[in-house]
A and B are shown apart, each in its own frame.
Chain A
């Protein structure tokens, strides 16, 4: 039987290209995944054949575009098992989705006595929007400890719930820097028990894991398209219907209204209440296609493949002297962060680039985590996708060894 990469690599035209005269090995999937032909063609097809503004035109093209865009929403809803499409708000991405919750839910609910509890492994996108609204309200953002192996400190999580009685608890489903998969069901249950609203940042989970928001039980769940084989500039916010219904809108404008007059304006129903202005139509359509692509391959197959790749990478990288893997939680998505004694990640990344390997170096938009782990210059991160092969990882290890030898 053929391997997963053997089956899917042909779908990704970019994987055939060269960089600096070397075959591209793309190991920066946690930053953004490459796009299958179906996604590229789907966007082109919309722009070439049925582009029109959605939701209002009486004409044929407007109807085609609206149907395609709304089918993207249905696919997201089904993929994460939301109870209906009105629970899925299209956003520009995860960052935009968290800002929406912070500005709409946060502005209406946070007061000067309140705490927003997050974790030390959050992406800046799940820290800064809370700092901004909390600064306005006089509320506080408090982080939960992360242990040395990159797992969340569950004792500290419990204690923090008790001590701070947070109004909202936000945490990543999977860490973009460490790869750690958090026990989201358990964390959500504990937070709910403490009376908190819960928000999960699923940016790194959507491309790798099966997600069921009803089983998890969270109030909000956010995801982004471009890390999940879809386009940039599109993502989603899932919110439980009950909470979205009472949450005030954030941005005002077209699409989000029922009736506008200078005597008073009434807002549209869910989900449109939160979608002011003409949206990223081709993005919504293509994100639906990306989800179809993931399901066509099988999300379980992707998870299993990436779990095996992580184990393989840990073992292979472990042979290099002075190399330390940052983040060795038992449950990980396809992310491997590392540092090499005495060498700057930027130098290593540059020399990998010269050999055709695309990796990310630095603090990966998780500066508090890097400070917490005492990694001033950040890490070098390799991150995997459905099309990543074991052979690519083996070659990356050889290329990394060469870079280390050049720098020593």
Chain B
């Protein structure tokens, strides 16, 4: 079921962002998301959980849930990155490890924010997604 869960969450985000035509409106929304998300326990914002991007820093923690699910929490020191990080967590957290490892993340493309996943943005987001997949893949392999 988890692949469907991720797919429906991606569609929700796409619908939510369809309300905004203008580039700046989209970012306004992203900033609001970034301000709201209580993304990670302060105690876990340590170097162990730090993904160092060139410019903005991202913290990511992953926990194993019931039935092979993975729960993520994350944060960033830049608000826009934090908004994006929050979207990632919202789409993937709580899903099945195998589904996360194999996920086709198309929602950033669909809402016109895919450039943030480009390594040249140096915001740590691309490394974070990679970390999420690696963690999920390792857990899925352990359970297989």
Q: Does B123 contact A (CB under 8 A)?
A: yes
Interface size for A (C-beta < 8 A) is 16
Contact in complex: B55, A361 (CB < 8 Å): yes
Contact in complex: A407, B79 (CB < 8 Å): yes
A to B contact number (C-beta, < 8 Å): 42
Contact in complex: A362, B23 (CB < 8 Å): no
In the bound complex, residues from chain B placing their C-beta under 8 Å from that of A362 are 54-55, 122
In the bound complex, residues from chain A placing their C-beta under 8 Å from that of B28 are 406
Size class of the contact patch on chain B? 10 to 19
Q: Does B109 contact A (CB under 8 A)?
A: no
Contact in complex: B78, A346 (CB < 8 Å): yes
Q: Does B17 contact A (CB under 8 A)?
A: no
Q: Does A351 contact B (CB under 8 A)?
A: yes
In the bound complex, residues from chain B placing their C-beta under 8 Å from that of A378 are 55
What is the bound-complex CA distance between A20 and B78, given in angstroms?
A: 22
Shortest B69–chain A CB gap in Å is: 32
Contact in complex: B80, A350 (CB < 8 Å): yes
Contact in complex: B55, A406 (CB < 8 Å): no
Choose one: A344, A354, A377, A407; the contact of B24 (CB below 8 Å): A354
Shortest A335–chain B CB gap in Å is: 18
In the bound complex, residues from chain A placing their C-beta under 8 Å from that of B80 are 346-347, 350-351
Contact in complex: A406, B78 (CB < 8 Å): no
Q: Does A345 contact B (CB under 8 A)?
A: yes
In B84-108, the 8 Å CB interface with A consists of none
Shortest B53–chain A CB gap in Å is: 9
In the bound complex, residues from chain B placing their C-beta under 8 Å from that of A103 are none
In the bound complex, residues from chain B placing their C-beta under 8 Å from that of A407 are 31, 79
Contact in complex: B31, A377 (CB < 8 Å): no
Chain B residues within 8 Å of A, Cβ to Cβ: 23-24, 27-28, 31, 54-56, 77-81, 122-123
With A21-B23, A346-B55, A347-B78 given, can you name 20 additional A-B contacts, CB distance below 8 Å? A20-B23, A344-B79, A346-B78, A346-B123, A347-B31, A347-B79, A347-B80, A347-B81, A351-B24, A354-B24, A354-B27, A361-B55, A362-B54, A377-B77, A378-B55, A406-B24, A406-B27, A406-B28, A406-B31, A407-B31
